[in-house]
Structure 1
Amino acid sequence: MEEATKRISGVVHRTPLQRNERLSMRTGAAVWVKREDLQPVRSYKLRGPTT
């Protein structure tokens, strides 16, 4: 896992959790979303060669 972390560290950034007020109000629960759309590659899941 550490090796993989080092390999993608220049591409992937930690993304924040953000409370979604509209969904929280509609559901009556605290709804948080992970802002993967803030990745520089604009992808929810990185894809590509692993070697």
Structure 2
Amino acid sequence: MHSGLAHADWIIDLGPGAGHDGGRVVFEGTPADLVADATTHTGEHLKAYVGA
């Protein structure tokens, strides 16, 4: 994961997967909110990246 995501002002996460399994907004908020939620693939990886 690119460290820039952890420093973003706002994240819009599309998913829940790729291709036909994606395209829906599954999360919208700050990186801290995404780490606290961590119910998406992006949230899980961001949480591991920041060591939370």
Q: What TM-score results when the alignment is normalised by the length of structure 1?
A: 0.23
Report the structure number with the largest CA radius of gyration. 1
Task: Give the TM-score of the pair, scaled to structure 2.
Answer: 0.23
More helix by share: 2
